[in-house]
Structure 1
């Protein structure tokens, strides 16, 4: 998509659609592509691959749009649908300041390159005769400026310069962390023409219900795996069909797609003499956006039945017009527990009583059965040592739940080492 800039708006254009972002208020205005003709002297800044969403915090982080700067093709899924991995992102700040985003060059327009105004008074190369005079004027100007700022701060309660520096430092840290998340982990994926959040089974059920709108795929995504949903809430809440092309669901996880060749014995070769067949093998992992966190610091279940670091992994095999899939899920043991402390492998502890835990445990498994049908739950917790308390708790609540749709299996790796 193309990104344009005017004095009042940033304008995204993709085919017959355009999205205008007000540089003063941060409001989104969806329009048609040909409305660009009404823009006042637009400048093309280049190409980007999509909008991740809006990032802001009212007191510490000014409003910005996070854009997909570069993406890499991963392969094709469910037919001829392209899947991409995000390679890099860039922040587009709100406000009147013009920034150079270093986007991909637009082939239709000459991409803008910010140039420094060499005629600015502050860029003049001062000769030796003027140095002393210039220094005196500059010192006096700074003194007046500082005094004025201090007086204004006292009168209006404006934060001190140190507060602004702290905010700037904090903003830089947030920006750096976002860049690291996308560039270092290589774990964010999207597709413009198919739904990566739903398994093949859920997708087929939606097709049977005639619920899928190819122009608004986001409306039928699996909410657990719509990683950037909150960042796009302003667009979603507009409830305008012109917003649909700009709402791009992104998943966090892993996708690998490979075309595999199988050589055929002579008795299975076709009359054309073809001695091999090609099938597609895909592994796709989707990480839930609920209760995500780092290992040891995010454990157990919450009051909604969401367990920490939940991942759905789907293995897909596609041959000609046929597809089959096998789905597994994993997550933290769905009871209230934690591992406080900073030492390596701190001992786990149970955090809440039986009554509260039973409610959360049953919520979790009722969600699982509703989504997947009968579930085979495999407990991989160490049955001895420090983890025994978690193993016992898991087993106890499975027995209390006593569901005919749950098959419970314990598996201790230590028995096979």
Structure 2
């Protein structure tokens, strides 16, 4: 939108809308932003203490945001996403780190919509302050509650902000302690439990999806938003007038309310995004750079973890750095703990030998902090000197552990929709986790220890269906394509971290072994060719399920023993007085199938090992401490695992009970079963739209993705270059099917064709390759997963009778499918001859020659009789010896921007191909002198819109409506 973001200190988004950073001079990023609607200027007044106070000259509506997430532009409308609630979760070197807990979405299309939205946001924020009795909202107990909605959760109306405030909060009548426990932890159990144990159940959800008035919420959640009266009212509060009130112009407009709600959940109530005004949380101490406070923070952060870069680009382009606040997705947690620098001496037995264990004392583990503790001496007394102020033993020393997980923006998304690797070597669920040990006050004279681990999907092209609890992986693409992406992946890791140690936790037997064996083969091939930068890639295949069978997760120690020497060689990063005294020289890369549950257990164990080594350099033996349960450490890592799991699989992590308590029992197994059911539900219902929204917010796709989604209820992977794959497929087909080296290759195209040959419409349509030589036309069916030709049919050009192009509509279920200008194709009619061949690729190509006798005996599929006369045109009546090739143009508009080159429209594609075929057919014909050459190409409807509507059955319409009700 031109002029939406102007190069002014005060950005006028629309008339009367004012954005102004509330920051002191010299501060790198705005600590707050004034978002106001007024005919007069509204600005900040700095008090003596440095706090900002707003003054209004016109009494207009406004609210202060803690920062801006970005500018969302879709369907010719723009929306400002701003942070309205936050929670401080850590303090690193004196710089606070915040978690976003709520965002507001302000429409910028008109003054009326913006003013209404700002008013509702202001009212909502004021109401919440009153509910918190005037306390700082960032410190309220509501901020410390469980996550009630993740990205994969249902987009419920009551989770929207701002909303119409109901003066009487809904109460949930609990009938049993079991129900109370489940409901209170509904974020942990996932959306399934949340809906199941709600009085409104699934029925109310269906009512809302149909646009009907929603019932009052039965869920009792102190941190939840006020319940709106109806869906239409909520949408109007967020985006102005309800888009459903008028006919949507395009698919993006019709799905806009759902996109806005998903955006609000993703950046707000999911509590998965973190930021700091003056500290770069995108970089670990390993890859840390010296920051310059005079340079905008967004120019110094690591782009691999800069999640809102795309929607911040309008501000960056306008030079408004004060508004640009980089966000990471992942987890940030911090915990202070104490260690005894002079622990009790080992207890000697009667035989004078040292006992293997010592008596444990009961210590408070609340937040990992020890209350008053009496430290017994070896003789059982408590005479050790204590600090008079803290009443603690003077030998106790405080430490601070910080855990930061950063999710990569590359191949980002949800569980079954983003697996494996892409062409550039990026893997799904790529996460860097840094464990930092420091002094609680971050004194420069104290050492800072940093240990980095990474996780990521197996770097192989593979997929899994979400419609199974344990789906069998399917390897995709050729071995060479897999190897190229595999090498790129480890080159990327090596450039960033140095040496690499792989720990693969998948099963050696069963479905997972398919991908695990491919992984091992690629490692062997890489090492045979010299490894990465001349060094072999260290690979350890540890079958977690086999080794830890019977809930014996402590057997992870076997893996630790196997990798101990390698990890000791890597070391860890140490910083002292602002300078690195040592640097981690390699990284441990852990994976299972989802890189969640088993990976969490293993990374926790290696993090504990690193902590022990780091404390040892401080002169502290963790094994000699009286409190060896380290509950504070386990809880921090379990929270980290739950956060990553919710962001990728929509539920808390499995095996979380072991991570927290180091114990595993049947209760944990039952909990995991419930989480698995919730994951299964999310994978087949909610993840499809959420994935499209994530790709759009990251800038991987354009708004056309919603058009694709409306058509098929899912979107393709934008990281896979279809343009590149199609070009490679054409080359493969040319080399394989054009056997005669004397044939001159004219051109090749990727088109859509009916599933059954020699028919006009047999669903679903498939992408096929059409090749043209100077003597033949080849229609090749291609296996895109294996990159192989599955079958092809060769038609001699001398047998071509006619070519007809025009409207080719195969479905009227969506607006894009019913567009007559974009749904076009052509029909090639030919008379089958003895030298026409069909070949099928099983283990080897088998040939079938088509003769008139074969056709008369019914060995071929005859064209459908309905509408065939119109297709044949002047070529005469249908006969059993006449066959056809039906081909439809691919959409010229693609959600994935793969270059700036201009593309031909669908009709231009069809006309070009038809003219080329005609040129080569007529080129070989010899005409008598004086005979006029007759054109083979004519225009006319193949399947008109009216015919398509007649052929679309009621069941097909109901099926699509049902899918749209669920997925959209």
Which TM bucket (shorter chain)? 0.7 to 0.9
Q: Which moved more, 1:403-412 or 1:194-203?
A: 403-412
Q: Structure 1, residues 246-279: CA drift from partner, whole Å, max 9, x if none?
A: 1111010011111112344389989998442211
The residue number in structure 2 matching 1:314 is 434
Q: What secondary structure is seen at the aligned counterpart in 2 of 1:176?
A: helix
Report the Cα offset of residue 226 of structure 1. 0.6
Residues of 1 paired with 2:36 and 2:83: CA distance?
A: 19
Contact between 1:226 and 1:289, CA under 8 Å: does it hold in 2?
Answer: yes
Report the Cα offset of residue 170 of structure 1. 2.1
TM-score by length of 2: 0.33
Contact between 2:36 and 2:61, CA under 8 Å: does it hold in 1?
Answer: no
Contact between 1:4 and 1:12, CA under 8 Å: does it hold in 2?
Answer: no
The residue number in structure 1 matching 2:538 is 407
The alignment status of 1:390 with 2:515, answered yes or no, reads yes
The alignment status of 1:12 with 2:20, answered yes or no, reads yes
The alignment status of 1:199 with 2:284, answered yes or no, reads yes
Q: 1:56 aligns with which of 73, 88, 94?
A: 73
Contact between 1:307 and 1:333, CA under 8 Å: does it hold in 2?
Answer: yes
Contact between 1:85 and 1:190, CA under 8 Å: does it hold in 2?
Answer: yes
Distance 1:6 1:376, change over 3 A: closer
The residue number in structure 2 matching 1:114 is none
The residue number in structure 1 matching 2:335 is 258
Residues of 1 paired with 2:276 and 2:245: CA distance?
A: 46
The alignment status of 1:220 with 2:300, answered yes or no, reads yes
Contact between 1:3 and 1:44, CA under 8 Å: does it hold in 2?
Answer: no
The alignment status of 1:364 with 2:489, answered yes or no, reads yes
Matches within 5 A, 1:15-30: 15-16=23-24
Matches within 5 A, 1:96-245: 96-97=111-112, 98-99=115-116, 100-103=119-122, 104=125, 161-163=246-248, 170-203=255-288, 206-207=289-290, 212-213=292-293, 215-238=295-318, 240=319, 243-245=320-322
Contact between 1:50 and 1:67, CA under 8 Å: does it hold in 2?
Answer: yes
Q: 2:106 aligns with which of 75, 85, 92?
A: 92
Report the Cα offset of residue 9 of structure 1. 3.2
Q: Structure 1, residues 298-346: CA drift from partner, whole Å, max 9, x if none?
A: 1011111111110111111012432111111111101111113522222
The residue number in structure 2 matching 1:154 is none
Q: 1:352 aligns with which of 447, 462, 477?
A: 477
Q: 1:287 aligns with which of 407, 416, 431?
A: 407
Residues of 2 paired with 1:6 and 1:347: CA distance?
A: 53
TM-score by length of 1: 0.73
Q: 2:80 aligns with which of 42, 65, 74?
A: 65
Distance 1:360 1:212, change over 3 A: farther
Q: 2:89 aligns with which of 66, 71, 74?
A: 74
Distance 1:335 1:33, change over 3 A: farther
Residues of 2 paired with 1:160 and 1:177: CA distance?
A: 21
Q: Which moved more, 1:313-322 or 1:246-255?
A: 313-322
Q: 2:465 aligns with which of 302, 326, 340?
A: 340
Contact between 1:4 and 1:44, CA under 8 Å: does it hold in 2?
Answer: no
Q: Structure 1, residues 344-377: CA drift from partner, whole Å, max 9, x if none?
A: 2221111110111111111110010000000101
Q: What secondary structure is seen at the aligned counterpart in 2 of 1:408?
A: strand
Q: Which moved more, 1:383-392 or 1:8-17?
A: 8-17
Q: Structure 1, residues 175-211: CA drift from partner, whole Å, max 9, x if none?
A: 22122223442211111110111011111xx22xxx6
Report the Cα offset of residue 214 of structure 1. 5.5
Contact between 1:4 and 1:45, CA under 8 Å: does it hold in 2?
Answer: no
Distance 1:222 1:33, change over 3 A: farther
Q: What secondary structure is seen at the aligned counterpart in 1 of 2:522?
A: helix
The alignment status of 1:296 with 2:419, answered yes or no, reads no
Distance 1:182 1:20, change over 3 A: closer
Report the Cα offset of residue 236 of structure 1. 1.9
Which runs of no fewer than 5 residues in structure 1 stay unpaired?
24-30, 108-158
Matches within 5 A, 1:271-282: 274-282=394-402
Residues of 1 paired with 2:521 and 2:250: CA distance?
A: 53
The residue number in structure 1 matching 2:963 is none
Report the Cα offset of residue 393 of structure 1. 0.9
Report the Cα offset of residue 293 of structure 1. 1.6
Q: 1:326 aligns with which of 451, 464, 467?
A: 451
The alignment status of 1:381 with 2:506, answered yes or no, reads yes
Q: Structure 1, residues 88-111: CA drift from partner, whole Å, max 9, x if none?
A: 00101112121224245699xxxx
Contact between 1:229 and 1:249, CA under 8 Å: does it hold in 2?
Answer: yes
Q: Which moved more, 1:81-90 or 1:350-359?
A: 350-359
Report the Cα offset of residue 223 of structure 1. 1.0
> Relative to total residues, which structure has the larger strand share, 1 or 2?
1
Q: Structure 1, residues 48-105: CA drift from partner, whole Å, max 9, x if none?
A: 111000112236xx2101101100111201x111000001001011121212242456
Q: 1:249 aligns with which of 298, 311, 326?
A: 326
Q: Structure 1, residues 22-49: CA drift from partner, whole Å, max 9, x if none?
A: 99xxxxxxx9999xx9x99584612111
Contact between 1:316 and 1:323, CA under 8 Å: does it hold in 2?
Answer: yes
Q: What secondary structure is seen at the aligned counterpart in 1 of 2:496?
A: helix
Residues of 1 paired with 2:45 and 2:311: CA distance?
A: 24
Report the Cα offset of residue 217 of structure 1. 1.9
Report the Cα offset of residue 406 of structure 1. 2.2
Which runs of no fewer than 5 residues in structure 2 stay unpaired?
1-9, 38-42, 47-53, 135-243, 345-383, 550-968
CA RMSD, 1 decimal: 3.6
Report the Cα offset of residue 20 of structure 1. 9.9
Contact between 1:49 and 1:67, CA under 8 Å: does it hold in 2?
Answer: yes
Residues of 1 paired with 2:299 and 2:44: CA distance?
A: 21
Largest Rg, 1 or 2? 2
Distance 1:161 1:217, change over 3 A: closer
* Alignment size in residue pairs: 344
Q: What secondary structure is seen at the aligned counterpart in 2 of 1:386?
A: coil
